[in-house]
Structure 1
């Protein structure tokens, strides 16, 4: 079988490009474990008086009197966490990527991962944030916002953040 040298060279070049693109995609998917994937924009940096480290928030469903619910997305960079805080009607967290922590005052710190759903009871102090090495992405749902949104309290100490029980 006679093969056209030009056609063969083009096919080899195309194969090399495809291999290179595949290797590049593989290297992107194997980036450091502190990266998370998000379907939402990063949003705005949360205020330093309410967060340790960098936490980025974007509102997805704004408060209104029809739904009385607020929904948003937060990305916590590795090691970032919220202050202790209270929601008058509670809060639901849906972890969409990464690894983090959640703690209700007086209870052990819990590790939370992609796919976990956390219920923060009404009027109960709690905090949440990323693990030291991996960022965490979460959706938050605040129901019955006519009761209020959030009361911010003091920072979570490094000792509280690191304590497993």
Structure 2
């Protein structure tokens, strides 16, 4: 057993996020574990770019209200206590609702290389449509 130290919080990189997003890593892979976990905080209106994960991703909302959307237009409004699974290779985005902070724990498995494939930003039009639904 080992107590891991609290890691510093860093602003999410602008090339992957719109708005103010902050990431605190909880766990990075250490053999034989492939688990990656981070606490991610989204200001109102902040969101990820479109992206997918090689072996899927689990999001567990700890605070606030957020959105997660897929390329086919499906949007889930998630609240504290909700858990959402995105399957391997599914393009999606997630972030805070327009008027509410949202915090989630993002959990995924690392693979050889980066387990996340990043794409283009989510347009304001797509984000606004998701909020009005």
Q: TM-score, normalised by structure 1?
A: 0.71
State the shift of 1:163 in Å: 1.2
Q: Which 10-residue stretch deviates more, 62-71 or 121-130? A: 62-71
Q: Which ranges in structure 1 are unaligned for 5 or more consecutive residues?
A: 1-39
Distance 1:42 1:93 in 2: 21
SS at match of 2:111: helix
Distance 2:26 2:105 in 1: 9
* 2:105 paired residue among 139, 159, 162: 139
Q: Which ranges in structure 2 are unaligned for 5 or more consecutive residues?
A: 1-5
State the shift of 1:46 in Å: 0.5
Count how many residue pairs are aligned between Structure 1 and Structure 2: 125
CA RMSD between the two structures: 1.6
Distance 2:53 2:70 in 1: 12
Q: TM-score, normalised by structure 2?
A: 0.88
The 4+ residue runs of structure 1 with deviation greater than 6 A are none
Distance 1:158 1:101, change over 3 A: same
Deviations, residues 102-155 of structure 1 (Å, cap 9, x unaligned): 012213221111011000110110000001110100001102x12541011000
Which structure has more relative contact order (CA 8 Å, sep 6+)? It is 2
